[in-house]
Amino acid sequence: MSAALARRRIEALYREESRRIYASLIRLLGDMQLAEEALQEAFRAALEQWPESGIPDNPRAWLVSAGRFKAIDALRRQSRHRDKLDQIGDALMAEAPDPADLADNALEDDRLRLIFTCCHPALAEPARVALTLREVCDLSTEAIASAFLVPVPTLAQRIVRAKAKIRDAAIAFEVPAGAALEERLQTVLQVIYLLYNEGYSSSRGAELGAPELVREAVRLAELLLELLPHAETRGLLALMLLQESRRATRTDAAGDLVLLADQDRERWDRELIARGEALVTAALRAGGHGPYALQAAIAAVHAGAPSFDATDWREIVGLYDLLLALSPSPVIELNRAVAVGMRDGPAAGEALVAELAAEGALDRYHLLHAARADFLRQLGRSGEALAAYRRALELAQQAPEQRFLAGRIAALEGAAPENRHRPVE
């Protein structure tokens, strides 16, 4: 095998499997920092060996095994870690069977264990989410800070303190049972959905989303549903499947954004829609449902509409009213405002979005400014629309959204001669 081909395969494995391998190494080594170092050493070994020996039949298991033995060797070479080696060395060497002897799909799902560990109630809730997104999803500290609108140093400190808490409190690397499982469920659902959102619509970058993150989020939700068939677990999985059913139509051949109103509904994945609708029905009938089931119900209304114009906006607004009562947030208020604008006209929608803008909580949320700009454009208030579109473009981090917003600006500038030569700020 050529070195170039081996490198491409290893790079793909790193993108798609590194966090799963990392989670398995945490289980085997009992230490996050040691597991991170072992992960890097395992991939370094693969880069050195695979061009000569070829890709193993079970590459993920090979990497887990290589990382484990690299960590053991490192501990043995460092006398200052002798005490730690005495505690874990025999257990590591006696671990049976060797992960390299297992098929990739036979390894325990350590990533789900890692999520529950990171969501332990001993950790503050903001730290749980930040730690899980960093350790499980491999999002950068900068990306997580941007998503939560907090300074990078603040976010970094949360992660450092959370890791120290897990180490010092000897928090078990396990999926809990009984009441402990229920206790952590909401945070775990939140983290899985945040993982899905990063895959569905990346917080920044050249692409609209990352399909491998979507697949992982759906896989984890399916595992969680088997473990705990709760209404909200069904709701979350339904929501992701219904949103994912539209993936093929969200961008055109050039990778540019296609709005919901312009998507080809014939290309929506009807199998995913059917699965999602069945899960929504089960979640709502079961009782005890919450925000995810209600969001899934909203997505089901969109999925069931034969056309954009035939969408039942009255039902969607009603569902948003229920959602706001259950889980109030500025983003849900914004989504409701857009739905009201679709039901009652752009003036009603713009008034609600303007109220939200005045409150300031979403000032750095580009979709607020984009929504207001769109209502203003429909109302013929081109100057105000341009200012709002420019603000949205200034805040947008994703290339397809940036191109879309720039296109809106260019169209408005072309329609208004006095603005034609005004630069985008």
Q: What is the pLDDT of residues 274-304, one digit of tens each?
A: 999 999 999 999 877 899 999 999 999 999 9
Structure tokens at 399: 């290339």
Mean pLDDT of all residues in the chain? 86
**Domain ranges in the chain?**
3-107, 337-425
Q: Is the CB of residue 5 less than 8 Å from the CB of residue 50? A: no
| Reported confidence tier of residue 359, pLDDT bands at 50, 70, 90 | very high
| Reported confidence tier of residue 187, pLDDT bands at 50, 70, 90 | confident
Sign for the CA dihedral angle at 253, 257, 262, 268 comes to positive
Q: Please give the single-letter amino acid code of residue 252.
A: D
Query: Maximum Cα–Cα distance for the chain, whole Å?
Result: 77
At residue 106, does pLDDT exceed 50? no
| Reported confidence tier of residue 367, pLDDT bands at 50, 70, 90 | very high
Average pLDDT value for residue range 64-91: 70
Q: Is the CB of residue 398 less than 8 Å from the CB of residue 147? A: no
Which residues are CB-neighbours of 183 under 8 A, at least 6 positions away? 121, 176
Q: Of 179-188, 326-335, 342-351, 402-411, give the lowest mean pLDDT range.
A: 179-188
Q: Of 190-199, 288-297, 345-354, give the lowest mean pLDDT range.
A: 190-199
At residue 72, does pLDDT exceed 80? yes
At residue 87, does pLDDT exceed 70? no
Average pLDDT value for residue range 177-206: 78
Q: Which residues, listed in sequence order, are joined to residue 330 by a DSSP beta bridge?
A: none
Structure tokens at 417: 């001669």
Q: What is the pLDDT of residues 150-163, one digit of tens each?
A: 889 999 999 999 99
**204 or 356: which carries more pLDDT confidence?**
356
Q: Quick one: pLDDT at residue 320?
A: 98
Q: Please give the single-letter amino acid code of residue 150.
A: V
Rounded Cα distance between 421 and 415, Å, is 12
Q: Quick one: pLDDT at residue 217?
A: 86
Q: Quick one: pLDDT at residue 392?
A: 97
Q: Quick one: pLDDT at residue 209?
A: 61
Q: Which candidate, 348, 416, 357, 419, places its Cα nearest to that of 392?
A: 357
Q: What is the pLDDT of residues 382-421, one digit of tens each?
A: 999 999 999 999 999 888 899 999 999 999 998 654 443 3
| Reported confidence tier of residue 90, pLDDT bands at 50, 70, 90 | low
Q: Of 93-107, 237-251, 283-297, give the lowest mean pLDDT range.
A: 93-107
Q: Quick one: pLDDT at residue 424?
A: 32
Q: What angle do CA 260, 261, 262 make, to 5 degrees?
A: 90
